[in-house]
A and B are shown apart, each in its own frame.
Chain A
Amino acid sequence: MHDSQVIAGEHLRPHYADMEQQRETATMGMWVFLITEIIFFGGLFTAYLVYRSAHYDAWLIGSEHMEFWIGTINTVILLCSSLFVALAVHAAQVGRNKMCALYLGLAAAMGLLFLGFKGVEYHQHFVEGAVPGSLWHLQVPDANSVQMFFYIYFVMTGLHALHVTIGVILLLVIAWYALKGRFSPQYHTPVEISGLYWHFVDIVWIFLYPLLYLIGHKKA
C-alpha cells in the first residue's frame, strides 16, 4: 500500500488507485488540452508568417503603429503574474492556503491590469483609424496589406485577451477555494493545472510581443 493511499482523504475519486495517479492523470490531461491550444494559436502564427513573407514592408509599417510601451509593460505584467501563479502552486504544495489565495489574487489582478492596458491600446487604434474595415482611415502606403496586418493583430490579441479573461475568472475561483482551505500538500491539483493554463497564456504573449511590437523598430 502506498503512503499516499493512507492520506488520500476525501478528494480521491474512486477510479484512481491513489492520489499520485489522480494528480498525474489530471496534469497530463491538462497538457493534452494545452496542445490543442498550441495548435489553435499555431494556426494563427502560421497565417501571420505566410502574410508577413508576402507583405514584408506592410508588416513593418503595421508594427510601427503598435504602442511599444504598452506592449512592453504588458509583457512585464504577464511575466510577474506567472511568477505569482508559480508561487501560489508552491504555497499550496506546502499547505499555506491563505498565501496561495493571496498569490492567485495578485496574479488575477495583474491579468485585469493587462486587459486594461490592452483596452487603452485598442482605443488608441480606434482613434488612429487602424481598425480594418469601414472604420479604417489610416493613411499609409499599401493600405490593404497593412489592414491585413491589423486583421491578424486583432484576431491574435483578441483571442489572447479572451484567454486572459477566462484565466482571471479561473484564478479567482481557485483563489476562493484556497481561501476556504480546500487545498493541502496531498491535494492541490486544481491550483497546479490552472497554473499550467495561465503559464500557457503567458507563453502565447511571449511570442506575440516580438512578432507584433518589435519588428517595426529595427531601423532605429
Chain B
Amino acid sequence: MAEHVVPQKTYIWVWAALMLLMMTTAGLSRVNLGEWSTFVALAIAVIKAMLVVLFFMHVRYESQKMTWVVVIAGFFWLFLMLGLTMTDYLSRGYLGVAGH
C-alpha cells in the first residue's frame, strides 16, 4: 500500500485546533473549577496529544497494523504503570493497619 500524503490544509486545521485547546486550558487555569481543574487540564492535554499522534505522526493514515500494535502497546504500558502505582498509593489510607 502506498504512503498517504496528508494535505497541508489538514495540518493547518489540526494546528489551529491545538492552539485553540491550548488557549482554552490556559484560560481555564485562571478559573476556579475546584476538583475538576486537574481533570479538565489533563483531558485537554490528552486530546491535544491524540491530535498530534493521529495527524502529525500519521498514525491515523498508517496502513501497517504492526505500527498500531506498537503504539497502542506503548500507551497501554504507560497506563499500567500509572494505574497500578496510583491505585496502590491512593488506596493506602482506605483500611486501618492492624495494631495502630
CA distance A28 to B66 in the complex (A): 7
Instruction: List, in ascending order, chain A residues with CB within 8 A of B53's CB.
Output: 199, 203
CA distance A96 to B78 in the complex (A): 38
Instruction: List, in ascending order, chain B residues with CB within 8 A of A39's CB.
Output: 74, 77-78, 81
Stretch among A72-80, A110-118, A140-148, A174-182 lining the B interface:
A72-80
Question: Would B90 and A53 count as touching, CB distance under 8 A?
Answer: yes
CA distance A188 to B82 in the complex (A): 36
Instruction: List, in ascending order, chain B residues with CB within 8 A of A93's CB.
Output: 3, 5
Nearest Cβ distance between residue B6 and chain A, in whole angstroms? 7
Question: Would B41 and A210 count as touching, CB distance under 8 A?
Answer: yes
Question: Would A80 and B15 count as touching, CB distance under 8 A?
Answer: yes
CA distance A220 to B26 in the complex (A): 12
Question: Would B85 and A206 count as touching, CB distance under 8 A?
Answer: no
Number of A-B contacts (CB under 8 A): 141
Nearest Cβ distance between residue A93 and chain B, in whole angstroms? 5
Nearest Cβ distance between residue A107 and chain B, in whole angstroms? 12
Question: Would B5 and A90 count as touching, CB distance under 8 A?
Answer: yes
Instruction: List, in ascending order, chain A residues with CB within 8 A of B85's CB.
Output: 46, 49-50
CA distance A86 to B61 in the complex (A): 14
Give the bracket for the number of chain A residues in contact with chain B. Answer: 35 or more
Instruction: List, in ascending order, chain A residues with CB within 8 A of B75's CB.
Output: 38
Residues in chain A within 8 A of chain B (CB atoms): 20, 23-24, 27-28, 31-32, 34-35, 38-39, 42-43, 45-46, 49-50, 53-54, 72, 75-76, 79-80, 82-83, 85-87, 90, 93-94, 192, 195-196, 199-200, 202-203, 206-207, 209-211, 213-215, 217-220
Question: Would A196 and B57 count as touching, CB distance under 8 A?
Answer: yes
Question: Would B42 and A210 count as touching, CB distance under 8 A?
Answer: yes
CA distance A31 to B14 in the complex (A): 21
Question: Would B56 and A86 count as touching, CB distance under 8 A?
Answer: yes
Known: A42-B78, A207-B49, A218-B34. 18 other contacts (CB 8 A): A24-B64, A31-B74, A35-B74, A45-B82, A46-B81, A49-B82, A49-B86, A72-B26, A79-B15, A82-B56, A83-B12, A202-B56, A206-B49, A210-B25, A210-B42, A213-B29, A214-B25, A215-B29
A-B CB proximity, top 7 nearest:
A35-B74, A214-B29, A210-B41, A83-B15, A218-B37, A217-B29, A86-B11
Instruction: List, in ascending order, chain A residues with CB within 8 A of B86's CB.
Output: 46, 49-50, 53
